[in-house]
């Protein structure tokens, strides 16, 4: 059975890098963040309704890649269940909606209630912020506030999770160790 591991956290905390590294290490695929594609195509001025479009696009992309992994039968050398690493989920969409617009689409909340994942990796803000054309919050105070919001969400839900922090190599090793423990 496919195990889905979601990587979440504030922007510029190494989520995409970690997803890519883990997928390569575990010989599987990863689901990128749909928001990047949407914003690069449509511009960085987004509305509350755009966030619903992004959320739906994220889940469509996740479902497509899930089917690909399931059909490919990707398994590691120990013949353990397949893995899929997911760069963002509806918790991220909830936080984004509420942080920017002070409210969240009911559809996003419904998806949070009905979707199931096997593990979360929460990326800490201890990496230096790296500017790119889509990032909005370079100040550490805002990033740490967002981190605390994500941490509170994970503490108050059922799925196991682990905080990921340190240098890139330390993050990677911590994540690999957590996934290996999950797979035992």
Q: pTM for this structure?
A: 0.92
Cα distances (Å, whole numbers) of residue 51 to 9, 36, 104, 115, 165? 17, 12, 9, 18, 28
pLDDT value at residue 1: 84
Which of these, 2, 18, 103, lies nearest to 62 by C-alpha position? 2
Set out the domains of the chain in order of their start, with CATH numbers.
Answer: 3-183 (3.40.50.300)
What pLDDT, on the 0 to 100 scale, is given for residue 129?
79
Average per-residue pLDDT for the chain: 92
| pLDDT tens profile 128-144 | 877 777 777 777 899 99
Residue 75 pLDDT greater than 60, yes or no: no
pLDDT of residue 73: 60
What integer pLDDT is reported at residue 134 of this predicted model? 72
* 91-137 residue pLDDT tens: 999 999 999 999 999 999 999 999 999 999 999 999 887 777 777 77
pLDDT above 60 (res 164): yes
Q: Is the pLDDT of residue 76 over 80?
A: no
Alpha helical stretches, state H, the chain? 15-25, 34-42, 48-72, 90-101, 106-114, 140-155, 168-183
């Amino acid at each position: 059975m496919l195990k889905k591991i979601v990587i979440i956290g504030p922007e510029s905390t190494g989520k995409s890098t970690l997803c890519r590294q883990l997928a390569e290490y575990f010989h599987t695929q990863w689901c990128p963040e749909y928001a990047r594609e949407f914003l690069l195509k449509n511009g960085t001025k987004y509305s509350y309704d755009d966030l619903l479009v992004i959320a739906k696009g994220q889940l469509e992309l996740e479902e497509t890649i899930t089917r690909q992994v399931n059909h490919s039968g990707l398994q590691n050398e120990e013949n353990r269940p397949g893995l899929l690493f997911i760069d963002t989920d509806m918790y991220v969409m909830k936080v984004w909606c509420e942080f920017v617009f002070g409210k969240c689409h009911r559809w996003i909340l419904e998806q949070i209630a009905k979707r199931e994942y096997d593990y979360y990796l929460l990326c800490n803000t201890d990496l230096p912020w790296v500017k790119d054309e889509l990032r909005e919050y370079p100040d550490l105070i805002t990033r740490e506030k967002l981190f605390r919001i994500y941490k509170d969400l994970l503490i108050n839900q059922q799925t196991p999770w682990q905080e990921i922090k340190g240098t890139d190599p330390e993050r990677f090793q911590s994540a690999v160790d957590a996934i290996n423990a999950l797979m035992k």
